[in-house]
Amino acid sequence: MKTIEIKAGSFFELLKLKGESMWDVFALMIDGEEKLILFLDEEEKALFEYLLPKEIGQLKIDQKRFAEEYAEKIANLN
């Protein structure tokens, strides 16, 4: 399995500037092979990881699950 390392701060700043979502970028990376995406901080320490699926259908499921979990965490903060 291929591992892709991404500097989280730069990645999310670029997405913001381009007006794209990380899911749009992930969709472009799908090629039938799973990939481990490691998000790193400025000191190259792992912040979190995501297993990019082989198929776009699974990516859509992951996106929905992420949105639900994110909304739940935000709701619990209030």
- DSSP three-state, residue 4: strand
Q: Per-residue pLDDT tens for 45-62?
A: 999 999 999 999 999 999
Q: Does the pLDDT of residue 78 top 80, yes or no?
A: no
* pTM of the model as a whole: 0.84
Average pLDDT over residues 57-73: 93
Q: Write down the pLDDT at residue 9.
A: 94
Range 48-57 contact pairs with CB under 8 angstroms and sequence separation of 24 or more = 50/26, 52/4, 52/26, 54/30, 55/30, 56/27, 56/30
Q: Which residues contact 38 (CB under 8 A, 6 or more apart)?
A: 3, 4, 5, 6, 46, 49
